[in-house]
Chains A and B, each alone.
Chain A
């Protein structure tokens, strides 16, 4: 395969041609050219930023000048661990993230199952589109919409009064956050569970039935374990996305509904205490690391 056979070489070729030939002769150069940019991006922007965050967490702020003091101290972490306010906010954030994850898993499974195993190809396409459609609209618009629904004189209470039920006071509360987060992150649970269920060969279902397994046994012993990687993948999304959010608490949470993110935001902006913000921001990181470790321990990744 010599380039001499190609008529274009007679014209002398361009720089592009020479580059192409060079990459052909040196596969390592070609590979490097492909891998280095994303790797550099990952190392510089992501890992480096995390490292800076972690280092900054051990600094402090001079209370008089507001300047960052670059001396090593554990004070920030001590505050995070001991001050009741901050501990309480961590509990609330983690609890709601967990509740949202469980809710989404329960809501997503039947939808994903229907999409993957029962719906025909056309209906499946329609459903897939419907599931991801909300993601095309602005996150803010969707949260505001829920604000309108859940507010005291909102759509929900209006509908309840129509059928003669007492109104609910769940606007601007933890309940409202739970509902809105569950709604917003639901597609992130449905899609991986759908993908996991779609991959299960039909013959597994037939084999289970053939061996005497009725619907429930098949679901419990075969379908759920095989859907587990999808559920875990989805829960990583729903859990971490809720854990890191600070907009929904502001918009639908009302007073006394701060999340970890709100504290970080307040310390970066209003309080100008970046070291404390950095220390507090490591909390969800550690939570996620713990969560992934736990998922691994219970063997959730093994079926993949």
Chain B
């Protein structure tokens, strides 16, 4: 799946210019003197699943609302298929939104909710009925057409929200933390379903979330937001394996930062190995150090060790419990261990433009 997406993307790269659906340039917005968005540039390709990822208040939702037309930008442009829509009303843009709180009209049935956009666009009754039925089928709610939204569960409501948006066949679908109100298990199911629907209908998705796992598992590309700016745009593996800033390294996945030879290295826990002695790490390409176990936590699938390096920093290492809970290490506090990582697997942060206090 992942490799398929990756090769897909390589194909797309070649035809990028022709295939750009949305182009955002210099988008800025402040609310009552507080800057919410400094100057955001991004470009989204046709058919892409593009995610805006960041903590709350980082500007990701503001960006979505500016693209939807719920807010007017202070400056900058939002070009949809080449046409600047930044200052148009929401009903004059060929985009639709799936809301975090569903925003289903409580006085209408499920089918009436879904038909709302088609009615507004004066789609003929017969065609309307056909498209509503098709949308209901797509979200597997055929049986619920005449129910009131209040009679549905959270997951079902959000499916109605999705159907109500995609039935209009927008050029771009905006999803504002659509799974934020659901519990973990349902959220994971819905993630898969969303992804399948997106592949089936081929509509471009712009997805907003603060959940890095969700972003990694669903997206073709991710824009990581921090403090009203985009820190990095890239595929999930690029953002995870080659974070361009300390913030990205800390927000997407967990990582330890160490400074070696003037480079600030991002150490992902799964790439940090520990053993009783250095003998385990013979051969080319290893960087080997010593330290002591500060804490070990058994977590079922793996055990997480926090190791204090003799050089001073603390790093996190995870060890799969492949041989059962009796780990290869007697995980005792203060146990001296050898810590090692392959030089090829760790990534140095570029430059020193990042400030330290941004790490969360």
- Measured CB to CB, the residues of A under 8 A from B are 201, 203-204, 206-214, 217, 221-222, 225-226, 302-303
Which partner residue on chain B sits nearest A214 by CB separation? B91
Which partner residue on chain A sits nearest B174 by CB separation? A210
Task: Give B132 Cβ to nearest chain A Cβ, in Å.
Answer: 13
Task: Give B160 Cβ to nearest chain A Cβ, in Å.
Answer: 11
Is the CB–CB distance between A209 and B90 below 8 Å?
A: yes
List 24 A-B pairs, Cβ < 8 Å: A201-B103, A206-B68, A206-B70, A206-B103, A207-B99, A207-B104, A207-B164, A208-B116, A209-B89, A209-B90, A210-B68, A210-B69, A210-B70, A210-B91, A210-B95, A211-B91, A213-B91, A213-B116, A214-B89, A214-B91, A217-B120, A221-B105, A221-B116, A302-B107
Kindly state the interface size class of chain B when it binds its partner. Answer: 20 to 34
Is the CB–CB distance between A206 and B99 below 8 Å?
A: yes
Task: Give B112 Cβ to nearest chain A Cβ, in Å.
Answer: 9
Complexed CA–CA distance, A1 and B103 (Å): 46
Chain B residues numbered 124-159 whose CB sits less than 8 Å from any CB in chain A: none
What residues on A are CB-neighbors of B99 within 8 Å? 203, 206-207
- Measured CB to CB, the residues of B under 8 A from A are 68-70, 89-91, 95-97, 99, 101, 103-107, 116-117, 120-121, 164-165, 168
Is the CB–CB distance between B168 and A204 below 8 Å?
A: no
Given A206-B90, A225-B107, answer yes or no on A212-B121 (Cβ-Cβ < 8 Å). yes
Top 7 A-B residue pairs of the complex, sorted by shortest distance between their CB atoms: A211-B117, A212-B120, A203-B103, A207-B103, A209-B90, A225-B107, A212-B91
Is the CB–CB distance between A209 and B105 below 8 Å?
A: no
Complexed CA–CA distance, A137 and B105 (Å): 41
Is the CB–CB distance between A203 and B101 below 8 Å?
A: yes
What residues on B are CB-neighbors of A221 within 8 Å? 105, 116
What residues on A are CB-neighbors of B101 within 8 Å? 201, 203
Is the CB–CB distance between A211 and B164 below 8 Å?
A: yes
Task: Give A266 Cβ to nearest chain B Cβ, in Å.
Answer: 46
Is the CB–CB distance between A209 and B117 below 8 Å?
A: no
Is the CB–CB distance between B107 and A209 below 8 Å?
A: no
> Could you say which of B68, B89, B107, B121 contacts A226, with CB atoms under 8 Å apart?
B107
Complexed CA–CA distance, A204 and B108 (Å): 12
Given A203-B99, A207-B99, A210-B96, answer yes or no on A303-B107 (Cβ-Cβ < 8 Å). yes
Complexed CA–CA distance, A225 and B113 (Å): 14
> Could you say which of B70, B107, B116 contacts A211, with CB atoms under 8 Å apart?
B116
Query: How many A-B contacts if CB must be within 8 Å?
Result: 64
Complexed CA–CA distance, A303 and B105 (Å): 10
Which of B69, B91, B95, B168 neighbours the largest number of chain A CB atoms within 10 Å of its CB? B91
Is the CB–CB distance between B168 and A206 below 8 Å?
A: no
Complexed CA–CA distance, A222 and B164 (Å): 15
What residues on B are CB-neighbors of A302 within 8 Å? 107
Is the CB–CB distance between B168 and A207 below 8 Å?
A: no
> Could you say which of B68, B105, B117 contacts A212, with CB atoms under 8 Å apart?
B117
Complexed CA–CA distance, A286 and B99 (Å): 46
13 extra A-B contacts, CB within 8 A, seeds A203-B99, A203-B103, A208-B105 = A206-B68, A208-B116, A210-B90, A211-B96, A211-B120, A212-B117, A212-B120, A212-B121, A213-B116, A222-B105, A225-B107, A302-B107, A303-B106
Given A203-B99, A212-B91, answer yes or no on A226-B120 (Cβ-Cβ < 8 Å). no
What residues on A are CB-neighbors of B97 within 8 Å? 206-207, 210
Which partner residue on chain B sits nearest A204 by CB separation? B103
Which of B96, B116, B164 neighbours the largest number of chain A CB atoms within 10 Å of its CB? B116
Is the CB–CB distance between A213 and B103 below 8 Å?
A: no
> Could you say which of A204, A210, A214 contacts B105, with CB atoms under 8 Å apart?
A204
Complexed CA–CA distance, A217 and B116 (Å): 10
Complexed CA–CA distance, A226 and B106 (Å): 8
Which partner residue on chain A sits nearest B176 by CB separation? A203
What residues on A are CB-neighbors of B68 within 8 Å? 206, 210
Which partner residue on chain A sits nearest B97 by CB separation? A210
Complexed CA–CA distance, A222 and B106 (Å): 9
Given A203-B99, A217-B120, A221-B116, answer yes or no on A211-B106 (Cβ-Cβ < 8 Å). no
What residues on B are CB-neighbors of A212 within 8 Å? 91, 117, 120-121, 168
Complexed CA–CA distance, A223 and B176 (Å): 23
Complexed CA–CA distance, A294 and B91 (Å): 37
Is the CB–CB distance between A207 and B105 below 8 Å?
A: yes
Which partner residue on chain A sits nearest B107 by CB separation? A225
Complexed CA–CA distance, A213 and B104 (Å): 14
Task: Give B286 Cβ to nearest chain A Cβ, in Å.
Answer: 54
Complexed CA–CA distance, A303 and B70 (Å): 26
Complexed CA–CA distance, A212 and B117 (Å): 6
Complexed CA–CA distance, A226 and B108 (Å): 11
Complexed CA–CA distance, A211 and B173 (Å): 12
Given A203-B99, A206-B90, answer yes or no on A213-B120 (Cβ-Cβ < 8 Å). yes
Complexed CA–CA distance, A213 and B103 (Å): 14
